[in-house]
Amino acid sequence: MRFYDTMLKNRYISIIVILFVTTLFAKAQTPFSMHGLGTLDDCTLGINSGMGGVGYGINNKMQINPKNPASYAAMDSLTFLFDIGMSVEVDWRKEGKLKETQTTANFDYAVAQFPIGKHLAASLGIVPFSRVNYEYGKKIPFGEYSNYGEGGIHQVYLGLAAKLYKNLFIGANVSYLFGNITHNSTIMPSSQYNVVAMIAQTKMHITDFKVDFGVRYTQPINDKHSITLGAVYSPKKKMLGKRYYDLYQLETSGETSLTVESDTMSLKGAYDMAESYGVGLGYNWEEKLIVGVDFTYQAWKNANYLPFWKKNYTEATLKNNFNNRYRISVGAEYKNELYSLKYVDRIRFRAGAYYEKSYMKIQGNGLYEAGATFGMGFPIMRDKSLVNVSVQYFNRKMQPNSKLVENGLIFSIGISFNEFWFFKNRIE
């Protein structure tokens, strides 16, 4: 038994290392990601993704929930949890008479959680913070003009939570943020014009940190029903890293380039991370039915940001580049009978919906997104572990001018491992 447990632990460690590398290549596939830091992620794991993304007030001790770090301390003191996930996204867009469809596949996250004492627990993992991936172009009088961007910010976190009193928990995540966001603008003249080709490249190299605080309290109503209230907070901070700007002139052959202009500046002072608040309410009925509602608010309007197409800035240039972001999510999970002999009775069914106003401000327009989710959890390995699958439909559009509309489906699959790592066998 001890040999089997060792092999099982080594397998999980190998998976963590592999996914730590592959997760770095996850990218969004949307033209909206050219704005700001890209499309933002909310630490939504497999179980949450089928429930509209709720998590602040969800009371589920069998789940890793980095959305609220206070939740870690509610786990079983003999359990080790490990969760991995990936997704396939299909997007279709329409702008006037133009239509486009794209498909991407990404590894999304790899996280673990474990107890470190009777009333203490920790979690660590890697999740995306933001994603950038876009490409578009147009004809100009003497050739072609194109924009291309890629990259994102990755988040490696270490969280610690404690049980203060009965059903009151507090916790915090300390995250290391790293990654590159690159924007390229190219003018490629036609051969009949005596004009040189130019490439302007702006690259943000982020090496930063952030802290998230969480609190959670569960109030039992009776033996079968309980209500959980959760809240999270992240303070505003200046971003750390470098910003590089280079202007290249392509030679006639197109194989070599000449640097015309180059500049480097610190992100500190020109870029901010917004202050963020989240509150959630959850209802639990005998662990058969879990219902949650979340509200997230991020004060991006007051955050400094220098658009990538600008080289120099003043105080006025840095302000009013974003809108404040908010998101409302609702979701539920139902399982008929946890210990039934019938497999179908032990399957979890999940559903949810959300509405969001993005932080992006695009030519004076706001960006809005609405979506619905459905998911299922299939028990494996003596019902302690789950295979989580979900599908999410979303609609993104600008308002009041909705000239570009984006719809999509995200198919997600994740595996939640639940193992007794800290139980000492009496029989060897």
Place of tokens 């029989």: 427
Query: Helix, strand, or coil here: 351?
Result: strand
Give domain status of residue 393, yes or no.
Answer: yes
pLDDT score of 337: 78
Select from 336, 381, 416, 338 the least CA-distant residue to 50.
416
Report the C-alpha gap between 368 and 378 in whole angstroms.
33
Give domain status of residue 428, yes or no.
Answer: no
First-to-last CA distance in the chain? 7
User: How many structural domains are present in the chain?
Assistant: 1
Neighbours of 153 (CB within 10 A): 24
Q: Which residues contact residue 357 at a Cβ distance below 8 angstroms, ignoring those fewer than 6 apart? A: 323, 324, 325, 326, 327, 366, 367, 368
pLDDT score of 258: 73
**Between the CA atoms of 369, 374, 380 and 386, what dihedral angle is there, to the nearest 10 degrees?**
30
DSSP 3-state percent helix, strand, coil across the chain (nearest 5): 10, 60, 30
pLDDT score of 421: 63
pLDDT score of 69: 96
Query: Are 184 and 148 contacting, i.e. CB atoms less than 8 angstroms apart?
Result: yes
Place of tokens 């007051």: 302
Exposure string over 90-108, b if 16+ CB within 10 A, otherwise e:
ebebeeeeeeeeeebebbb
pLDDT score of 251: 66
pLDDT score of 277: 97
pLDDT score of 118: 84
Give domain status of residue 9, yes or no.
Answer: yes
Select from 102, 121, 105 the least CA-distant residue to 113.
121
- What does the DSSP assignment read for 12-27? HHHHHHHHHHHGGG--
Which H or E element spans position 7?
A: helix 2-22
DSSP state of 356: E
Give domain status of residue 427, yes or no.
Answer: no
Range of the domain at 320: 2-420
Q: What is the pTM of this model?
A: 0.88
pLDDT score of 11: 54
Read off the CATH number of the domain in which 339 is found: 2.40.160.60
pLDDT score of 143: 76
How many residues are listed for the chain in this entry?
428
pLDDT score of 107: 85
Query: Helix, strand, or coil here: 74?
Result: helix
Give domain status of residue 426, yes or no.
Answer: no
Backbone angles phi, psi at 302, to 5 degrees: -95, 5
Report the C-alpha gap between 128 and 179 in whole angstroms.
10
Give domain status of residue 121, yes or no.
Answer: yes
DSSP state of 75: S
Answer whether the bond into residue 115 is a cis peptide, omega within 30°: no
Which two tokens mark 74?
A: 């509610």
Largest CA distance in the chain: 84
Kindly give the residue spans of alpha helices, DSSP state H, lying in 86-240.
none
Which two tokens mark 68?
A: 């609220």
Binned average pLDDT, 10 residues per bin, the chain of 428 residues: 46 50 55 91 89 93 92 86 93 86 88 91 95 84 84 95 94 97 86 74 95 96 94 97 89 64 90 96 92 97 89 80 96 85 88 97 92 94 82 94 89 88 51
pLDDT score of 77: 74
